[in-house]
Amino acid sequence: MSATGDREQQEPTGDAHKQGNGVPRSLTERTDGIRPSIQNVVATTNLGMQLDLKEIALRARNAEYNPKRFAAVIMRIRDPKTTALIFSSGKIVVTGAKSEDQAKLASRKYARIIQKLNYANIKFSEFKVQNIVASVDVAFPIRLEPMQHAHNNFCSYEPEIFPGLIYRMQEPRVVLLIFVSGKVVLTGAKTREQIYEAFSNIYAVLSMYRKVPAAA
């Protein structure tokens, strides 16, 4: 997964509140034009009936099934490039999408593949985004130890175990992995708006703990 973010491109837009990519203008104003980049959207859906996983694995392309290792068929499609975990209960977990729309499109494609394997009565229901993962690079190093001391109610930092500071934001409920280099991974969000809000909140904090090079 890439751990770099995208800097805002100055493009004309007719919306005074959002950029052309859906990012609120107020976010980029508060974060010096830096925005998180969505890396993975995990979503679930329910087909509403029991599935014969062995039969699906035998008849479907790009599918594998090893019940001794994992109790689901693993299926992949190229467009959008995603992986699905298909369970006998009819539940499907889709990973690898780059947007909510991609996740929904992929889920429908997996459902259609299964429908053609003699499951004409399946339903596409209960679609839900479970997790959005994003990354960004603030382009300056961060002093993690003093940040951890000042925000110890929300974060933990044990560099001998994991090199990043783990910040558990309460509102929105997003977990941020913050690295000395200035790279940040955001996870646990249910919507991209939560990603943008969490980054806007943390950017002001990161700026306070920016590592300034020592004078020569």
- Does residue 88 share a domain with residue 59? yes
Residue 26 structural domain: 18-39+132-208
Proportion of the chain above pLDDT 70, given as a percent: 85
- Does residue 167 share a domain with residue 65? no
Proportion of the chain above pLDDT 90, given as a percent: 80
d(Cα 16, Cα 1) in Å, to the nearest integer? 32
**Each residue's pLDDT tens digit, 130-172:** 999 999 999 999 999 999 999 999 999 999 999 999 999 999 9
**Number of structural domains found in the chain:** 2
- Does residue 96 share a domain with residue 64? yes
Residue 95 lies in a domain: yes
Strands 73-78 and 6-7: unpaired
d(Cα 49, Cα 88) in Å, to the nearest integer? 8
Give the residue from 123, 145, 161 where a domain finishes.
123
Task: Please give the model's pTM, rounded to 2 decimal places.
Answer: 0.83
Q: Indicate the average pLDDT of the chain.
A: 88
Residue 180 lies in a domain: yes
* Structure confidence at residue 212 as a pLDDT band (50, 70, 90): confident
CATH number for position 186:
3.30.310.10
CA dihedral 58, 61, 67, 70 (to 10 degrees): -170
The answer to whether 1 and 170 are in contact (CB under 8 A) is no
- Does residue 204 share a domain with residue 186? yes
Give the residue from 106, 123, 140 where a domain finishes.
123
**Each residue's pLDDT tens digit, 35-50:** 999 999 999 999 999 9
Q: Token digits for 28?
A: 């980029």
Query: 134: buried, middle or exposed (CB in 10 Å: 19+, 13-18, 0-12)?
Result: buried
Give the residue from 99, 123, 147 where a domain finishes.
123
- Does residue 169 share a domain with residue 193? yes
Amino acid at the residue 1: M
Strand order in the sheet with 155-156: 63-64, 73-78, 81-86, 91-97, 37-46, 125-137, 183-189, 174-178, 165-169, 155-156
- Does residue 33 share a domain with residue 136? yes
